[in-house]
C-alpha cells in the first residue's frame, strides 16, 4: 500500500434536490421578484451534487479480498480495534486492550461506491474515534486478508472477514444432510483461499458407516472431514485442537448444531441453541448476525446465522470447474477449450465420470452449480 496522498474516490450517487424553481409565473406577478432575481442557467457538468467522485486524503488499497479501493488517513489519536459484530447501523468493536465500544460508521465510508450491502463486516480491523467511554465513530477500514461472502439481492453480502479457516457444519440427520451445500462452501473456500474443514454433526442419529462413502470422497481430495456429535461428545477433542489459536468461521444451514458444537468446545460460551422443526426438518434461527467470539484456548470463532441457500458471489459459470478439486485436473484434457463439461463430445470430465474416476454426485453438483440452481 502506497503512502497517503490525495485520491479521487468514487462514491454512490446521492439524492439530488430539485434544481429548478417552482411557480415562476406566480413569482413574477409579485412586486418583490424581478427578472434579474431569476436563475438564468443550470450547471450540468457534474461538479455539483451530481458528481460521484470526491478527493480524499488516504491510501490506495488492494480490494481483491472484497474491501474498499481506498483507505482514509486518520488522526494519530484514532484507536485500532476489531469488529465483533454488526447490528444495523452500529458495530461492536473490541480494542487491542480488551475494551468494547459501540461504533457508528462515518458517512463518508458508507457512501464510497462498492458492491457490498454493508461497508463494515464482522472481522474487520478498523480505526475509530472515541466519542465517550463506550461509543465511537469508525473512520477507517483496513484492507482485508480474506472474505467469506455470498450474493444477496444482487449485492455482495460479506459474512465475515480476516479468518484463517472455514468450518463447514452439516448434520447427518435432523435436518437432512445436504452435500451440495457443502460443495458450495468448498467452492467459496477455494475461491478465497480459506482453509476448509468439513464437520458432520449428529452422527449419533445414524449409522456412522453410512457416512463413510461421502467422507471418503472428500478425504481423497485432501479435505479434512470430522464426524462428530455435540450431544455425545464424539470428536469434540479433535475439533477443539483444530480451532485452538485460529480464527475460524462456522457456517452451515440452520439446525445443524453450530452453536451446540461451540458450546461443546468451550462450555463457558453458553450460546443459545434451538430445536429443529419436526414438520419440515428445518432449524430455527438462534444466531441472527455473524459475531466474533474470543476463545479461552486462543483465537476466535465466528458464529454465523444459518444459511439454507448459498449463492456464490462474483463467480461466472466458466470458472466453476476450476474450483472443484476433483474436476480441475481433467479440464485441460477436453477436446474443446470452451467445453462446459455438460453436453459436449470428447469431454475428459464426462469420460472420467463414466469410468468411475469422478464421483457421480460431485459431477451432478457441478452441473447444478454451473446452471445457477439454488440448493
Please tell me whether residues 298 and 169 are part of one structural domain. yes
Please tell me whether residues 171 and 294 are part of one structural domain. yes
Position 41 in a domain: no
Number of domains in the chain: 3
Among the ranges given (15-24, 83-92, 180-189, 260-269), the one the predictor scored with the smallest mean pLDDT: 15-24
Question: What is the rounded average pLDDT of the residues 167-176?
Answer: 95
Position 255 in a domain: yes
Please tell me whether residues 233 and 327 are part of one structural domain. no
Among the ranges given (36-45, 310-319, 321-330), the one the predictor scored with the smallest mean pLDDT: 36-45
Q: What is the per-residue pLDDT for 57?
A: 47
Domain final residue, candidates 303, 337, 356:
303
**Residue 324, phi then psi, degrees to nearest 5:** -95, 110
Please say whether the beta carbons of 321 and 331 come within 8 A.
Answer: yes
Please tell me whether residues 271 and 335 are part of one structural domain. no
User: CATH no. for residue 358?
Assistant: 1.10.40.50
**CB within 8 A of 35, min separation 6: which ones?**
28
Q: What are the C-alpha distances in Å from 98 to residues 93, 94, 132, 235?
A: 10, 6, 16, 32
Question: What is the rounded average pLDDT of the residues 244-266?
Answer: 93
Among the ranges given (4-18, 88-102, 192-206, 211-225), the one the predictor scored with the smallest mean pLDDT: 4-18
Whether the model clears a pTM of 0.85, i.e. scores above it, the answer is: no
Please tell me whether residues 189 and 134 are part of one structural domain. no
CA angle at 100 for the pair 95 and 101, rounded to the nearest 5°: 100
Res 261 pLDDT > 80: yes
Question: In the numeric block, which cell numbers belong to residue 96?
Answer: 487491542
Position 213 in a domain: yes
Please tell me whether residues 121 and 262 are part of one structural domain. no
Please tell me whether residues 280 and 357 are part of one structural domain. no
Please tell me whether residues 196 and 295 are part of one structural domain. yes
Sign of the Cα torsion 93, 96, 100, 104 reads: negative
Please tell me whether residues 161 and 140 are part of one structural domain. no
User: CATH no. for residue 113?
Assistant: 2.40.50.140
**What is the DSSP secondary-structure string of 245-257?**
TSEEEEE--TTS-
Please tell me whether residues 228 and 97 are part of one structural domain. no
Confidence of residue 286 (pLDDT cuts 50, 70, 90): low
Q: What is the per-residue pLDDT for 58?
A: 47
Position 345 in a domain: yes
Q: Could you say which DSSP state residue 301 is in?
A: E
Among the ranges given (39-48, 93-102, 113-122), the one the predictor scored with the smallest mean pLDDT: 39-48
Question: In the numeric block, which cell numbers belong to residue 12?
Answer: 454512490
Q: Which domain holds residue 91?
A: 56-144
**Which residue has better confidence, 110 or 28?**
110
Position 50 in a domain: no
Please tell me whether residues 140 and 207 are part of one structural domain. no
Position 30 in a domain: no
Cα separation of 119 and 97, whole Å? 25
Q: What are the C-alpha distances in Å from 281 to residues 170, 201, 237, 254, 351?
A: 13, 15, 28, 10, 37
Please tell me whether residues 160 and 290 are part of one structural domain. yes
Position 10 in a domain: no
Res 91 pLDDT > 50: yes
User: CATH no. for residue 195?
Assistant: 3.40.50.300
Amino acid at each position: 500500500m502506497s503512502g497517503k496522498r490525495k485520491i479521487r474516490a468514487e462514491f454512490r450517487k446521492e439524492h439530488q434536490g430539485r434544481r429548478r424553481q417552482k411557480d415562476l409565473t406566480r413569482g413574477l406577478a409579485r412586486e418583490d421578484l424581478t427578472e434579474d432575481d431569476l436563475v438564468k442557467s443550470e450547471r450540468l457538468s457534474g461538479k455539483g451534487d451530481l458528481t460521484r467522485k470526491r478527493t480524499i486524503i488516504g491510501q490506495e488499497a488492494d480490494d481483491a479480498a472484497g474491501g474498499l479501493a481506498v483507505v482514509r488517513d486518520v488522526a494519530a489519536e484514532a484507536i485500532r480495534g476489531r469488529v465483533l459484530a454488526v447490528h444495523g447501523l452500529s458495530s461492536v468493536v473490541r480494542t487491542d486492550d480488551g475494551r468494547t465500544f459501540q461504533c457508528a460508521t462515518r458517512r463518508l465510508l458508507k457512501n464510497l461506491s462498492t458492491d457490498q450491502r454493508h461497508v463494515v463486516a464482522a472481522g474487520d480491523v478498523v480505526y475509530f474515534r472515541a466519542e465517550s467511554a463506550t461509543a465511537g465513530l469508525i473512520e477507517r477500514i483496513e484492507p482485508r486478508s480474506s472474505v467469506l461472502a455470498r450474493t444477496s439481492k444482487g449485492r455482495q453480502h460479506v459474512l465475515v472477514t480476516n479468518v484463517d479457516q472455514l468450518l463447514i457444519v452439516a448434520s447427518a440427520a435432523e435436518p437432512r444432510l445436504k452435500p451440495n451445500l457443502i460443495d458450495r462452501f468448498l467452492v467459496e473456500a477455494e475461491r478465497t483461499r480459506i482453509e476448509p474443514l468439513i464437520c458432520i454433526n449428529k452422527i449419533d442419529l445414524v449409522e456412522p458407516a453410512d457416512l463413510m462413502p461421502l467422507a471418503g470422497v472428500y478425504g481423497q481430495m485432501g479435505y479434512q472431514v470430522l464426524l462428530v456429535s455435540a450431544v455425545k461428545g464424539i470428536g469434540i477433542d479433535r475439533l477443539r485442537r483444530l480451532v485452538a489459536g485460529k480464527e475460524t468461521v462456522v457456517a452451515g444451514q440452520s439446525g445443524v448444531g453450530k452453536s451446540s458444537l461451540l458450546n461443546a468446545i468451550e462450555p463457558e460460551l453458553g450460546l443459545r441453541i434451538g430445536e429443529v422443526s419436526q414438520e419440515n426438518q428445518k432449524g430455527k434461527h438462534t444466531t441472527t448476525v455473524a459475531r466474533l467470539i474470543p476463545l479461552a484456548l486462543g483465537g476466535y470463532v465466528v458464529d454465523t446465522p444459518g444459511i439454507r441457500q448459498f449463492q456464490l458471489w462474483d463467480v461466472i459459470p466458466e470458472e466453476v470447474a476450476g474450483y472443484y478439486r476433483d474436476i480441475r485436473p481433467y479440464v485441460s484434457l477436453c477436446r474443446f477449450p470452451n467445453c462446459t463439461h455438460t453436453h459436449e463430445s470428447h469431454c475428459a470430465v464426462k469420460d472420467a465420470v463414466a469410468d468411475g474416476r469422478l464421483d457421480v454426485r460431485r459431477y451432478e453438483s457441478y452441473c447444478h452449480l454451473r446452471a445457477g440452481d439454488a440448493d
